[in-house]
């Protein structure tokens, strides 16, 4: 059994809603204003079972010109168009506009219902039928069956259902392996239920208790319950009309145009790359940076068209464009979009999105055009290879690839395995995710990091290694912390570097101290031990040991990293056992007396303020003590 979405299209008052009621028994005019005025203002929904057993969900969209944006919201996700033309009126302006929109949105199947056929004679019916055939020429619906019907008298309905069923059988099964996307076309609250959103499930499947994101608002929620045409279900599937009861998201923050999808799947964007087809019947060329209304999924937003290859686009022509938006949307590869003139509002074109998350392009760049040609018509392996070459030395995940190009997990895994076998990419698993990096980009990062570490060790012969954050800042500052960790993980696993905590060293550099250096290290530690609660400062240590300041700092750093010594302030270091003894004396005193003044602490250790105050501040920072006026008390 397949779930088929049928969208009605046609001019105002051509009988779409009446026909749907005759087919399904449901009245899709749900608003009081619609009842009063006799026209469909918003979207209506109904369903019926086809003779083959497939389920047809019908989206009744408005026909009046002022409500075309609602028609666009309903057109998204259509499998089949039911074009309604009244026999007594014939093809009208909104008939043509709806037909253009369905054609742009890539709906490739349709059936024409020639309504009110009981009101005209046979000769007129034949004339209107010929006019419809001529109108359909050059569209996806050329040759579509045309069925005369009367919803009032009931004739032709059986034949219409049979033709719909024949065409519906040609509709491909929806791919349930890809992540779900639900563009919201209605949002409301029900007493005792909460926030409810509705829409046509574009892809995948969604279940009760699923954690979801709502973009572009970046809201998080949980699915409390689901309904498909008023029937409760545990799981809804692509191609179904779905009502979702959400927990954790306030209705006031959700609107038509938002999209429900898995957390982390896609990100909002203010631009996308696409091919734009300008309709042949528009009155004038489209100029670069023209301001237009963009319709994607159920979202309407203003933006500008950047022509990447031409100064202007003539009626009937198509070319690559970058659409720059005034508000974010959530597009992806292969999505359809429509543009309408800003004012007066009428449809002028549309097409298919090639990259939903591109960089800002300069115009007339051959490399940009080549890239778009590959993304538009290339094989999956070629496109994924291109994405890796563009990311070059930046590790990416499967989600990053899918944000540019839609593939099932199975297809993508096959391609990644092949690229890894060819040594074009490396796969690196971290504790959080599985990353992939283009081989040549990784080689450049490796060379940069190893060159830096080699120089670092030459300039710091006593150092156990450089800080990881410093290496990242010096050699791969364009990477995030997670991405840099991917590179460090691979370098470490391959034996090029040694990772020890947050320290990085070159694997071929010997950081072992020689005999003379070990003796100096021992002398420094001994001097700090002997100083007890009043150890020598850095300058005093330099005089005592005769070790130059820079070399002395390295010995102190080694002792600190080993945990033998604790740095209290920039030039004051304590032997660790001494710190423990000072803490024990302090705690014993406070447990007996409740509080201690700095003078009492100074006397307790037998030192001057020079040592007492830094030690007290250190114990405060370690959350052993806290200030109470000028005194200290236990935390």
| H or E stretch covering 7 | strand 3-9
Task: Say yes or no to pLDDT of 34 above 60.
Answer: no
pLDDT of residue 104: 81
Query: 350 versus 36: which is more confidently predicted?
Result: 350
**Lowest-confidence region among 71-85, 159-173, 553-567:** 71-85
Cα dist from 273 to 196, 261, 329, 373, 436, whole Å = 33, 22, 13, 11, 24
pLDDT band, residue 424 (cuts 50/70/90): very high
How far is CA 520 from its chain centroid?
56
pLDDT of residue 68: 52
- 101-115, 217-231, 479-493: range with highest mean pLDDT: 479-493
pLDDT at res. 625: 94
Contact criterion met (CB below 8 Å) for 434 and 428: yes
Q: For the chain, what is the mean pLDDT?
A: 88
- What's the pLDDT at 77? 67
The pLDDT value given to residue 441:
96
Q: What's the rounded Cα separation, in Å, for the pair 501 and 508?
A: 18
pLDDT at 264: 86
As a whole-number percent, the residues of the chain with pLDDT over 90 amount to 57
pTM of the predicted model over 0.85: no
Percent of the chain predicted with pLDDT > 70: 94
Q: Is the pLDDT of residue 33 over 50?
A: no
- Residue 553's closest CA among 534, 539, 568, 574? 539
Bridge-based pairing state of the strands 194-200 and 205-207: unpaired
Count CA atoms within 13 Å of residue 48 on its CB side: 18
pLDDT digit string, tens, across residues 475-510: 999 999 999 999 999 999 999 999 988 889 999 887
Give the 3-state secondary structure of 302-318.
EEEEEECCCCEECCCCE
> In this predicted structure, what is the pLDDT of residue 548?
86
pLDDT, position 589: 95
- Calpha distance 335→7 (Å, rounded): 18
Domains for the chain: give ranges and CATH numbers: 3-168 (3.40.50.300), 182-261 (2.40.30.10), 269-369 (2.40.30.10), 378-512 (1.10.10.10), 525-635 (1.10.10.10)
- Mean pLDDT calculated for residue range 282-298: 93
Q: What is the pLDDT of residues 370-381, one digit of tens each?
A: 999 999 999 999
Asked if the model's pLDDT at residue 565 lies above 80, the reply is yes
pLDDT at 317 over 80: yes
DSSP 253: G
Q: How confident is the model at residue 365 (pLDDT cuts 50, 70, 90)?
A: very high
pLDDT band per the 50, 70, 90 thresholds, residue 269:
very high
What's the token pair of residue 347? 């449809």
Task: Name the burial class of residue 544, with classes exposed (0-12), middle (13-18) and buried (19+) by CB atoms within 10 angstroms of its CB.
Answer: middle
Which range is most confident: 51-60, 214-223, 242-251, 393-402?
214-223
Residues with Cβ within 8 Å of residue 512, at least 6 apart in sequence: none
Residue 74 reports pLDDT greater than 70: no
């Amino acid at each position: 059994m397949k779930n088929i979405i049928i969208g009605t299209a046609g001019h105002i008052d051509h009988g779409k809603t009446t026909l749907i009621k005759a087919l399904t028994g449901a009245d899709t005019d749900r608003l009081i204003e619609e009842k009063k005025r006799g026209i469909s203002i918003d979207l209506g929904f109904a369903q019926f079972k086809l003779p083959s057993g497939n389920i047809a969900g019908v989206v009744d969209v408005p026909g009046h010109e002022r409500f075309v944006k609602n028609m666009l919201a309903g057109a998204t996700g259509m499998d089949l168009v039911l074009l309604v033309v009244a026999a007594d009126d014939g093809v009208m302006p909104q008939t043509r506009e709806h037909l253009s929109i369905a054609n742009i949105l890539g709906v490739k199947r349709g059936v024409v219902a020639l309504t009110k056929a009981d009101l005209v004679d046979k000769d007129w019916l034949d004339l209107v039928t010929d006019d419809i055939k001529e109108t359909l020429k050059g569209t996806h619906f050329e040759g579509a069956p045309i069925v005369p019907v009367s919803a009032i008298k009931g004739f032709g309905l059986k034949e219409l259902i049979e033709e719909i069923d024949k065409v519906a059988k040609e509709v491909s099964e929806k791919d349930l392996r890809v992540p779900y996307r639900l563009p919201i076309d209605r949002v409301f609250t029900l007493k005792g239920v909460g926030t409810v959103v509705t829409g046509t499930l574009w892809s995948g499947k969604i279940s009760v208790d699923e954690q979801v994101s709502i973009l572009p608002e970046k809201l998080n929620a949980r699915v409390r319950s689901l309904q498909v045409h008023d029937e409760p279900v545990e799981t809804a599937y692509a191609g179904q009309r779905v009502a979702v009861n959400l927990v954790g998201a306030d209705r006031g923050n959700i609107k038509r145009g938002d999209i429900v999808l898995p957390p982390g799947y896609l990100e909002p964007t203010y631009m996308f790359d696409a091919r734009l087809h300008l309709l042949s019947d528009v009155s004038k060329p489209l100029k670069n940076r023209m301001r237009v209304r963009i319709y994607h999924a159920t979202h309407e937003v203003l933006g500008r068209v950047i022509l990447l290859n031409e100064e202007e686009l003539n009626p009937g022509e198509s070319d690559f464009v970058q659409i720059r938006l005034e508000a974010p949307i959530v597009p992806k590869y292969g999505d359809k979009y429509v543009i309408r003139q800003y004012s007066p509002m009428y449809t002028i074109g549309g097409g298919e999105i090639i990259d939903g998350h591109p960089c800002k392009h300069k115009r007339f760049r051959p490399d940009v055009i080549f890239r778009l040609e590959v993304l538009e018509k290339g094989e999956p392996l070629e496109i994924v290879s291109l994405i890796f070459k563009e990311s070059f030395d930046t590790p990416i995940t499967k989600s990053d690839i899918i944000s540019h190009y839609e593939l099932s997990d199975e297809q993508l895994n096959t391609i990644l395995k092949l690229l890894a076998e060819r040594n074009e990419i490396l796969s690196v698993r971290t504790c959080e995710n599985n990353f992939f990096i283009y081989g040549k980009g990784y080689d450049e990062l490796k060379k940069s990091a190893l060159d830096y570490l080699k120089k670092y060790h030459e300039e710091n012969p006593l150092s156990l290694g450089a800080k990881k954050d410093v290496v990242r800042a010096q050699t791969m500052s364009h990477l995030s912390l997670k991405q840099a960790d991917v590179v460090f993980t691979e370098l470490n696993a391959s034996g090029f570097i040694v990772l020890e905590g947050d320290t990085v060293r070159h694997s071929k550099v010997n950081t072992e101290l020689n005999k003379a250096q070990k003796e100096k290290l021992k002398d420094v530690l001994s001097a700090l031990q002997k100083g007890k609660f009043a150890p020598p400062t850095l300058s005093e240590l330099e005089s005592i040991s005769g070790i130059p300041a820079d070399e002395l700092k390295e010995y102190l750093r080694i002792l600190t990293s080993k945990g033998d010594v604790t740095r209290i302030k920039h030039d004051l270091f304590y032997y660790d056992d001494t710190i423990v003894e000072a803490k024990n004396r302090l705690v014993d005193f406070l447990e007996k007396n409740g509080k201690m003044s700095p003078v009492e602490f100074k006397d307790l250790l037998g030192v001057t303020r020079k040592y007492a105050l830094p030690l007290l501040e250190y114990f405060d920072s370690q959350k052993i003590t806290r200030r109470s006026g000028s005194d200290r008390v236990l935390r």
